[in-house]
Amino acid sequence: MFITRLVALLSLVFLAVAERSLVVYDSVKIDLAEPPIELKRVVETFKSLGHEILLRGYQDSDLLMFVSGYAIFDNIVFLPTSSKKINRKEQLNKQNLVDIAKTANLVFVGDSNYNYPDVIREFLNEAGIYPSPKGYKLIDHFEASDKVKLTKDNIGCARILSTIDTEYDGQSAILSNNENLVPILTASKTSFSSNDNINPVDNENSWGFGQQSHLAVSLQALSGTRITWVGSIELLKQELLLWAIGQRNALKLQFVQHHKADEPQNLDSTLYRIKDQVVYTIGVSELVDGQWKPFVVENDEETLQLSFKMLDPYQRLNLQPLGEASSVEGSKVLDTYVYSVNFTIPDQHGMFTFELDYKRPGLTYLLEKQVVAIRHLANDEYKRSWDITNAWFYVVSAVLVVIAWFFFVVNFLYVSKVDVGKKDQ
């Protein structure tokens, strides 16, 4: 029994290495012999990246995504389906999707004419994304046609999507107040989402109004993975798909160092002293065309910041750019950009944290924490009186008092002594 399970597990490990991307589709709706153009485009994008792609139907008995607590794919795309139920609930359930999202990028594609399986809708709702029900579509009566014209004005995050020019016919979603949600495409002010078969429109048969509705949105997980929802497969073009699977705007901390300003050889010390001069340095890279390149901050809104904190930040400092460098010692490949800051440790001893918490829409998050101890001055480390300018007055006063006392004693004992015999006469 044990040997059988071990062999099965080893085969799954091999599968996970060989096949990195999975597309789950509706086998009733899509015939792989004549796949739609949009599906071909998705498959070609994965193949251009060198991924081995696997296509499986929602009802397929060999649908396998999750084994022994581990996801076996790096990217999974869920296409629309005509069924709310699936056969392999042990593979496709809400808890498994939550666990898969920790290590894999998930892309969910909507369609106003089809349902989501219940587990997918529950998962999206937990992430703060609420797609409209079946039969609801985005409508704008200011448009000449039944479709909604999308332009650059609809782009919610230009870092993710640089341009858009299409006629949209699909779902919309409303969002929760989850701060990790990034709107990619927002509906126009004059649009609304409603069931086109029910008139008139009221609160009972509408889903969202104006810019409350979103056509594409993503949740950036703290682990660096991305959960992306689009209301129509027409939107899943190369630029957006590459971002959704982490091939664009992905950041990486190549190194983090801190040391005393006068002891650069003693890196990452765990003990500092109050009022020490400390230098904090990091190297940041960005994934561009499959290679790590230096990440350059282009404006003040993207500035990297260091927080030196106990419970609350005692100091919050902007990291200054130094230039390109190599993340590997001795290498000539400049693959990272160095940022640094020099500051004085506050006059407060205790346990402090060097914290880099960088969260910008469209970029993977950078989070780095290093805890260090800050001690007070030792008895022999305080300045002596003669080293303190303000103390000179008191030191001189003390010396003058001693000298005056000395002359007083000499004068009393010797100089001012009166002859007793002369005094009696």
Q: Cβ contacts of residue 275 below 8 Å, gap of 6+?
A: 344, 345, 346, 347
* CA separation for the pair 218, 242 (Å, rounded): 13
Please report, for the chain, the start and end positions of each structural domain, with discontinuous segments joined by +.
Answer: 2-244, 251-380, 388-424
The structure tokens listed for 48 are 């251009």
* CA separation for the pair 303, 46 (Å, rounded): 33
Q: Cβ contacts of residue 208 below 8 Å, gap of 6+?
A: 132, 172, 173, 174, 187, 192, 193
Residue 1: per-residue pLDDT: 43
Q: Residue 40 class from Cβ within 10 Å (0-12 exposed, 13-18 middle, 19+ buried)?
A: exposed
Nearest 5°: the CA angle 163, 181, 65 is 95
Characterize 155-169 residue by residue with b for buried, 16 or more Cβ atoms within 10 angstroms of its Cβ, and e for exposed: bbbebbbeebeeebb
Side-chain-facing half-sphere of 4: CA atoms under 13 Å:
1
Q: Residue 76 class from Cβ within 10 Å (0-12 exposed, 13-18 middle, 19+ buried)?
A: buried
Nearest 5°: the CA angle 314, 315, 319 is 155
The structure tokens listed for 32 are 């792989």
Q: Rounded to whole angstroms, what are the CA distances from 275 to 311, 312, 344, 345, 373? A: 19, 18, 5, 5, 13
Q: Which residue has the tokens 């059988």?
A: 4
Closest CA to 184 of 210, 146, 206, 152: 152
**What is the chain's pLDDT, residue by residue, as a tens digit (425 residues)?**
444 444 344 444 444 454 479 999 988 888 888 888 888 889 998 888 888 899 998 888 888 888 777 888 999 999 988 877 777 777 888 888 999 999 999 999 998 888 888 899 999 999 999 998 888 888 887 876 778 889 899 999 999 999 998 888 889 999 999 989 999 999 988 888 888 666 666 666 778 888 889 999 999 988 889 999 999 998 988 899 999 999 999 999 999 999 999 999 999 999 999 999 999 999 999 999 889 999 999 888 899 999 999 988 899 999 999 999 999 888 889 999 999 999 999 999 999 999 999 999 999 999 999 999 999 988 888 888 778 888 899 989 999 999 999 999 988 888 765 555 555 55
The structure tokens listed for 334 are 């400049």
* pTM score of the predicted model: 0.82
In what helix (H) or strand (E) does residue 261 lie, and over which residues does it extend? none
Are 124 and 97 in contact by the 8 Å Cβ rule? The answer is no
Domain at 2-244: CATH architecture: 3-Layer(aba) Sandwich (3.40)
Instruction: Provide the CATH topology of domain 251-380.
Output: Immunoglobulin-like (2.60.40)
Question: What would you report as the CA-atom Rg of the chain, rounded to the nearest whole angstrom?
Answer: 34
